[in-house]
Amino acid sequence: MIEVRLSTTLYERFLTCPKAAAFSIDEDAKKLSMPSLRAALGKVSHRLVEESTRIPHNWSESDIALWFDENWRVYVEEQFLELVSRWAPNHVLKPESWPGYFATRAAAKSLVSKSSGLLPPRSTLNESSNPALKEDIALRLPLVEQYLVSADLGIVGKPDFVFLENDKATIYDYKFGNNQNDVEKHKLQMYFYQLLVESVLDVEVGRLAIVSSANKVLEIPFDRTAVNRLKGDIPRVIDAIETQKVAAIPSSSNCRFCSFKSICEPFKSSHIDLLPGRPMVISGHVSKVQRIDEKFQELMIRTSVKPEAAEVKVYAVPNGHEVKVGDSVLITDNLDFKDSLIVGFSWNSRIFFKT
C-alpha cells in the first residue's frame, strides 16, 4: 500500500472525483498527466518571485527590471522545451501565444519590482531555515516557498510566503492566473496551509491572504471551524486513497480535462458527450490515413461508440503519431469539432492506441 501525503491539489482532486485522486498517485497512471501552458507560466512566475527575495537590497528598480526580463526569458524557454519534449510529436505553441502569457508576465514583474513589503525584506531572509526544528520560530521566519511536511497530519505543501506579524504567522499565496481575485476559490487551499504551518512550525496562524496582480492583497476570512472541519476530513481522504476505496464520478465537467480518461472504465462506459454529437472521446478503428504535408495527416475513424456506424474525419494530426490503417485508437482532449463528423486535432489533443 502506498503511503499517501496529502497536498491541497490532491485533496481538491479527491473532492471532485476520488478515482482521479487515486490515479494521480499511481506510478503508472500518473505518467499520463501532462504539463499545461498555464502551469508552466505559474512555475516561471513563482520561481522568479522566490528568487527575487535574494536580490541585493541596493539594486535599483531598473536593475531589477533587467534581471526579471532576462530570467523570465530563460525560464520560459526552459518550460517551453519541457513542454515540447513531453507533448512530442504534437507541436506546442510558442510562448507568446500561450493564454495569459502577457498578463501573467506583467503581474509577476509588478510583484517582483514593486514588492512594497509584500515579499520578505531581501536582507532578512534566512537561507538556513529548518522548519523541522520548532524552537526559535522568530529566527526562521520568513519562509519563502518552503516545502513543509506534517508527519502528524499526513499533509504536505509549499506556501509561498510565511512571516510573523504580531507574534502570529501570516500566510501569503501569490496568484497569477485565472480566478486570481476569487477569494472563495482559494479558501480551501489557504485553510490547508494554515493547518500545515501550525502543525510543522508550531506557531499560531493569525492571517491568511492571497496576493494577486498589481500587488493587490485579498484577505481570506479567518474561520477556525472550517479549518477544524478540514482537519477532521483529512484522515478519511488519506485512508480512501491508500486503500483504493474510491468512487469514480464521471461528468462532463469532471472528466473534460482529466488526464486519465484513456484508462478510466467508468468514464468510458458513461459515453459522456460535451454537447450532443460532440463526444469527449473518439474511439474506433482507423480506416484511412492520408498525409497532407510534411507536418500533418488526416485520419478516418470508424467509431465504435455510436450504435450506428459512423466515419469521423480527424484532421491536423501530426505525422509523428505513427497511425496505421486497422489501429484501434482513442482520441481525446481539446478536440475542435467543426461538426459531429469533422474534428480538428489540437496541439494538446492526444491519441492512445488500444491493444
Determine if 186 is a binding residue for ligand SF4 (CB under 6 A).
Answer: no
Measure the CA–CA gap between 1 and 244, rounded to whole angstroms. 9
Determine if 330 is a binding residue for ligand SF4 (CB under 6 A).
Answer: no
Q: Where are the alpha helices (DSSP H) in the chain?
A: 8-16, 18-24, 37-52, 61-87, 101-113, 137-140, 183-201, 224-242, 252-255, 265-270
Q: How far is the CB of 256 from ligand SF4 (least distance, A)?
A: 8
Determine if 334 is a binding residue for ligand SF4 (CB under 6 A).
Answer: no
Q: Which listed residue (11, 14, 19, 172) binds ligand SF4 by CB under 6 A?
A: 19
Determine if 260 is a binding residue for ligand SF4 (CB under 6 A).
Answer: yes
Which one of the spans 12-20, 173-181, 312-320, 346-354 is the region binding ligand SF4 (CB under 6 A)?
A: 12-20
Complex with ligand SF4: residue 193 or 267, whichever CB lies closer: 267
Question: Is-contact 335 344, C-beta < 8 A?
Answer: yes
Which one of the spans 40-48, 88-96, 141-149, 262-270 is the region binding ligand SF4 (CB under 6 A)?
A: 262-270
In b/e form, how buried is each residue of 237-272, taking b as 16+ CB within 10 angstroms? bbebbeeeebebebeeebbeebbbbbebeebbeeeb
Measure the CA–CA gap between 75 and 222, rounded to whole angstroms. 36
Determine if 258 is a binding residue for ligand SF4 (CB under 6 A).
Answer: yes
Number of residues that bind ligand SF4 (CB under 6 A): 15
Query: What one-character DSSP code corresponds to residue 322?
Result: -
The residues facing 6 across adjacent strands are 155
Complex with ligand SF4: residue 11 or 23, whichever CB lies closer: 23
Measured CA angle at 281 (ends 82, 28), to 5 deg: 50
Measured CA angle at 111 (ends 110, 117), to 5 deg: 125
Complex with ligand SF4: residue 148 or 255, whichever CB lies closer: 255
Complex with ligand SF4: residue 17 or 119, whichever CB lies closer: 17
Q: How far is the CB of 272 from ligand SF4 (least distance, A)?
A: 8
Measure the CA–CA gap between 98 and 33, rounded to whole angstroms. 19
For the beta carbon of residue 81, count every other beta carbon within 10 angstroms.
11
Determine if 14 is a binding residue for ligand SF4 (CB under 6 A).
Answer: no
Residue ranges in 228-257 that form contacts with ligand SF4 under rule CB under 6 A: 248-250, 254-255
Determine if 23 is a binding residue for ligand SF4 (CB under 6 A).
Answer: yes
Determine if 17 is a binding residue for ligand SF4 (CB under 6 A).
Answer: yes
Determine if 174 is a binding residue for ligand SF4 (CB under 6 A).
Answer: no
Comparing CA positions, the residue from 230, 239, 174, 238 lying closest to residue 198 is: 230
Determine if 261 is a binding residue for ligand SF4 (CB under 6 A).
Answer: yes
Residue ranges in 267-306 that form contacts with ligand SF4 under rule CB under 6 A: 267
> Which residues contact ligand SF4 (rule: CB under 6 A)?
17, 19-20, 23, 248-250, 254-255, 258, 260-261, 264, 266-267
